[in-house]
Amino acid sequence: AIIGEMAITLPESNNGLGGVLWFVVALVPLSIGSGLIRPLLNTLLTKAAGDASFGVVLGFSSAAVSAANAAAPIVMGLIFQQYGAGMPFLIGSGLMALLVVFALIFFRTVPAVQKAA
């Protein structure tokens, strides 16, 4: 019943590739950034946690990423349907702004990571 009610406007076909060019331009840097940031974040998390909780930290990190990857398309898809195409982007921008403020307040200094001998 819900599937039949899902009407999403696609880019106009008379524009050809230009109709989805904005999507490709946004997706390429996003993919490259995600490919670079995940290994770096896991490295920082495990170095900060130490050897005793190495597996626990990686497990929670992977679980959080997987939960976000599963829930975000569903939630933002519903918001897209109810409030229009711009609302998921506004919500995402607002969440990012809140995270920047949170990081600036609570993580002003970065602890030094000790090098292995």
Give domain status of residue 9, yes or no.
no
Give domain status of residue 76, yes or no.
yes
Give domain status of residue 5, yes or no.
no
Q: Tell me if the pTM is above 0.75.
A: no
Give domain status of residue 78, yes or no.
yes
pLDDT of residue 48: 84
Give domain status of residue 44, yes or no.
yes
Give domain status of residue 17, yes or no.
no
Q: How many domains does the chain have?
A: 1
Q: Which domain holds residue 88?
A: 25-106
pLDDT of residue 94: 96
Distances (CA, A) of 78 to 1, 29, 92, 112: 15, 26, 14, 43
Give domain status of residue 42, yes or no.
yes
Kindly report, residue by residue over 35-48, the tens digit of the pLDDT. 999 899 888 888 88
Give domain status of residue 19, yes or no.
no
